[in-house]
Amino acid sequence: MKSLIKWIAVGFGTGWSPVMPGTVGTLVGLPLAWGVMQVPNIAVQAAICIVMTLLAIPICGVAEKMIGGKDPGCIVADEYLTLPITVIGLASPWALLSGFVLHRIFDITKPPPIKQLQHIHGGFGITIDDFLAALIALGLNHLIFGMIG
């Protein structure tokens, strides 16, 4: 069971990419986000995203203990399971692309208040920065696509 959790945590191997493992691992979230976009009810979209985020916490926590170290770069479940948040309430495929890019920008640069959360340990600490990055990306996506559409 633990090896399955580790496999999920490393994005089915994508987190072992020698180049930009977080970005490569986030690609796993694109079909999940696309699937969320197909759900016609925004409340259900949000509920799905909450469940995925809550699943990321124990998955990342268990994998961190198995792999060792604080928030190992190969753990990418936090990235790909929070990516769908960036498209809640949006229908444009371009929102999926911008959500991906914005999520990565905010996760990598960690602007306040994301940076202030880096001291939190365990699965919650691994996931919270990606969750906030996704929320910021969601807000910007709504600004962008609200103006266009």
| Number of domains comprising the chain | 1
**Section 103-131 average pLDDT:** 93
What is the domain range of residue 76?
Answer: 2-148
Rg (CA), the chain: 14
pLDDT at 148: 64
**CB 82, CB 54: distance < 8 Å:** no
pLDDT in tens, 18-62: 999 999 999 999 999 999 999 999 999 999 999 999 999 999 999
Maximum distance among all Cα pairs of the chain, rounded to whole angstroms: 47
Residue 83 has pLDDT above 70, yes or no: yes
| pTM of the model as a whole | 0.95
Instruction: Give, as one character, the DSSP assignment of residue 119.
Output: T
* Of the candidates 81, 92, 88, 76, the residue with the CA atom closest to the CA atom of residue 149: 92
Residues 6+ apart with CB under 8 A from 11: 24, 25, 28, 76, 77, 79, 80
pLDDT of residue 149 exceeding 60? no
